[in-house]
Structure 1
Amino acid sequence: MRAMGGEQVEEAVAGCVALLRTADAGRPDWARVRAGRLEWDCLRTALHIADDLIAYAGRLAGRAQHAHVPFGITLDDATGDAGVLDVITTTGALLAAAVRTAPRHARAFHPFPFRSADRTGFAAMGVAEVLLHTHDIAEGLGLPYEPSAELAEGVLESLFPHVRPGPAPWPVLLWATGRGELPGRAAVTGWHWHNNLVLPAERLTLEGVRPLAARDLAQGGDGGFEWLTGGPYPGTRDAAGMLVKAYEAGVHRPEFGAFVLVRHEDGHAIGSMGFHSAPDEEGRVEIGYDLVEGARGRGYATEALRALARWALERDDVRTLFATVERGNRPSQAVVSRAGFRKAGEDEDLFAYELRREES
């Protein structure tokens, strides 16, 4: 599956416009037809698509960090149904261009849930707005509509990592956004999407891995990262595979998944770190990590572990972090010790370390 980018934005917009241009003159004025289950009419919903596309393009291009950029679209008085489709085409092209030209590490403001998104997130959000609101308008106008399974799946794996996938992605996306029903699942009455978590450290950024990127890593790809020579290490691919299995089982907690460690000085990914699962009932959760060989011995793992531990122990649902290290792996034992972990047990193969909230 392709990562979400400018090409996917253009594909979604092209499908939207092609379908809605087929609305013949015999259909009523869009302003007099309700868009599916929304309170808006079809014309207002089409304008909303364009508004979101230009808003995402503006935020990403301008690297807005703390709030929405305060501007929007105003249509000329004489603009009709066909004219608003031209606006959607134009704003879609602007978002696609912003996504293509933004550096991989660039992030800009979006409220859900960690107050920022990268270019992949903005592309996926743009695609989601187009797919879902095209569905709403088509439902109001009585037009059949179903986007490509690949686009729907890309939105789910980029923005809904907390939602268990199903046999077909489009019905799952409709269900997850309160637009449909799925057998065995309760109706959705409130929702928002889930951009990836990014944690800063002094020389590194810990970038949360989406299921889409994890699947690529587990299958031998780079996950969309530029790796230091020798990476990703096998442990990273194993962790990515575990993430995908959790996602497919519907038990993935995105903030307690895997993070790729990206070095500030050159943008290279140098390893990964993350949680084996969500915290248990006692607030206990295990951490694991690895580094590409060429990045070892420089304190990167310690720096990343301190950042991740600090974030985790500030949460109400985490009380204790623990890690297991092979008895012969002295460098890794030094990493956990420097990060404040204390030895809590051992067997013939492993030492166990833990860090409690009150000790951090």
Structure 2
Amino acid sequence: MTIMGSEAVDRSVSLTAQALRRVAHLDWSSPAADLEWSCYDTAEHVAGDFTGYATQLTGRSTTGYAPFDIKADPGTTPAGMIQVIEATGGLLSAAVAVTDPEVRAWHPYGMAGPDGFAAMGVVETLLHTHDILTGLGVHDWEPDADLCEQVLVRLFPQAPRDAAPWPTLLWVTGRAELPGLPRRRAWRWYAEPVTTERLVLCEISPLVAGDLHEGGTGGFAWAEDGPGEGTRAAAGMVAKAREAGTHRPGWGPYAIVRTHDRRAIGGIGFHGAPDAEGNAEVGYDLVPSARGNGYATEALKGLAGWAFGQPGLTALHARVDADNAASHGVVVRAGFERTGSTEEGEARYALRAEGAASLAPGGCPGR
């Protein structure tokens, strides 16, 4: 597990300030790269992120952002905006330094502790410095490779490691291509993914589900025979749930990513949040090239461990086609017990809390 602290925030802010001071004399009303914001607005956004992340930690928020915004005084010059970035970056650095590592606060990409918010702050300042410089005609800026590597390990467990860290960070955030990997249409980071010995499970949230359902990658580097139709269909269910207002973060599909090559090899997840009695249903879909290696069982155990760590769940259920011997083996090895059959002839299985006592969710991924 990679722990990022205040020193990483300080280093990223220093790199940003140095780079932006070289272009402070230019017109910051120009668009920032491919963003809808101007270079000035993008710098202001970075300051807002720093302050927002700091107050998530100091306020111990668990349900949303504190309701405030950061705006520079009217007439503030680019040089003044750089001062604001340095000052607000210092606030985040200080909050990270004094917050207990066990503290968790809300972020739309997953609950995170001080190391997670430190990594998010580094991502924001490095990428948006790139955006501002690109908008101003500077295309050769590159931050420290080790800083980029730390961010990739902490927040982007799904990113391949075939290229240098900075190009990879630009690719994983939709800003560039990599050899054999097109520019991404949708992306997100993962503050607390579910991890197992060989896998990391990354939630397919509404942000990326639409892209995946419509034929895109969902921001993942897939095995050659992926993604499967079952995974695309599950992504479509997320989009519909979001439109209906019934989406519950965490209780949808996840991409199954192999850690040794960072390739997505299937999907696993829930058909919805637990009902009033605490029942939820789980399903999975593995690409043919990845079958026969125990990945589905490992992913199911990991996700079940996460699920029983959440409030309100009493039992997980699964339905398996009668003639699907491999899938029967998956659920049995994961601890599920046969409970009957459906009217369509599918076998019903269930895993209850007492049977899942030995399952434990993973922590943050390592390299």
| Structure 2 partner of 1:8 | 8
Partner of 2:59: 62
Shift of 1:316: 9.6
Written as runs of structure 1 = structure 2, the 5 A alignment for 1:1-360 is 3-23=3-23, 25=25, 27=26, 29-31=27-29, 33-112=30-109, 114=110, 116-143=111-138, 144-197=140-193, 246-251=258-263, 280=286, 284-286=296-298, 307=309, 313=316, 320-323=330-333, 357-358=349-350, 360=352
Q: Secondary structure at the match of 1:358?
A: strand
CA drift at 1:12: 0.3
Partners of 2:152 and 2:165 within 8 A in 1: yes
Q: Which amino acid aligns with 2:350?
A: E
Larger RCO (CA under 8 A, 6+ residues apart): 2
- Specify the code of the residue in structure 2 equivalent to 1:167: A
Query: Are the aligned partners of 1:59 and 1:68 in contact in 2 as well (CA < 8 Å)?
Result: yes
Distance 1:304 1:191 in 2: 23
Paired with 2:95 and 2:258, the residues of 1 have a C-alpha distance of 33
Cα 1:63–1:138 change in 2 (3 A) is same
Compute the TM-score of the two structures, normalised by the length of structure 1.
0.61
Are the structure 2 counterparts of residues 316 and 69 from structure 1 closer, same or farther at C-alpha, using a change threshold of 3 Å?
farther
State the distance in 2 between where 1:316 and 1:39 align: 46
Question: Would the aligned equivalents of 1:196 and 1:210 in 2 still touch at CA under 8 Å?
Answer: no
| Residues 32 and 38, structure 2, Cα contact 8 Å, conserved in 1 | yes
* Offset of residue 357 of structure 1: 4.0
Identity among equivalent positions (%) equals 38
CA offsets, 1:193-229, max 9 Å, x none? 1111479xxxxxx9xx989xxxxxxxxxxxxxxxxxx
In 2, Cα distance between the equivalents of 1:55 and 1:125? 11
Q: Which amino acid aligns with 2:20?
A: L
Q: CA deviation at 1:252?
A: 6.2
Matched residues, number: 255
**1:221 alignment counterpart:** none
Gaps (5+ residues) in structure 1? 200-205, 212-244, 257-277, 290-302, 325-339, 344-355
| Counterparts of 2:61 and 2:77, CA distance in 1 | 32
Q: CA deviation at 1:97?
A: 0.9
Counterpart-to-counterpart distance in 2, 1:160 and 1:315:
30
Distance 1:101 1:311 in 2: 37
Distance 1:192 1:41 in 2: 22
| Structure 1 pair 153–75 and aligned structure 2 pair: CA distance change class (3 A) | same
Query: How many Å apart are 1:73 and its aligned residue?
Result: 0.8
Q: What's the CA shift for 1:321? A: 3.9
Cα 1:109–1:315, aligned 2, differ >3 Å: closer, same or farther? farther
Offset of residue 3 of structure 1: 2.7
Secondary structure of 2:43's partner? Answer: helix
| Residues in 2 aligned to 1:284 and 1:6: alpha-carbon distance in whole angstroms | 38
Distance 2:306 2:36 in 1: 46
CA–CA distance in structure 1, aligned partners of residues 336 and 319 of structure 2: 19
CA contact (8 A) 1:61 1:98 kept: yes
Q: Distance in 2 between matches of 1:60 and 1:89?
A: 19
Q: CA deviation at 1:124?
A: 0.7
User: Conserved in 2, the CA contact under 8 Å of 1:287 and 1:323?
Assistant: no
Shift of 1:307: 4.0
- What per-residue deviation string (whole Å, max 9, x for no partner) do you get for residues 78-99 of structure 1? 2110111111001111111111
Distance of 2:42 and 2:137 partners within structure 1: 15
The SS at the match of 1:64 is coil
Q: Counterpart of 2:169 in 1: which secondary structure? A: helix
Distance 1:80 1:288 in 2: 54
CA distance in 1, matches of 2:319, 2:188: 22
1:128 aligns to what SS in structure 2? helix
Could you tell me which runs of 5 or more consecutive residues in structure 2 were left unpaired when the two chains were aligned.
Answer: 202-256, 269-283, 321-326, 339-347, 353-367
TM-score scaled by length of structure 2: 0.60
| Residue 248 (structure 1) shift | 3.9
Query: Post-superposition shift, 1:75?
Result: 1.3
Partners of 1:41 and 1:53 lie apart in 2 by 19
Q: After alignment, is 177-186 or 247-256 more displaced?
A: 247-256
Q: Deviations over 1:221-271 (max 9, x none)?
A: xxxxxxxxxxxxxxxxxxxxxxxx932401368999xxxxxxxxxxxxxxx
Cα distance in 1 for partners of 2:168, 2:122 equals 16
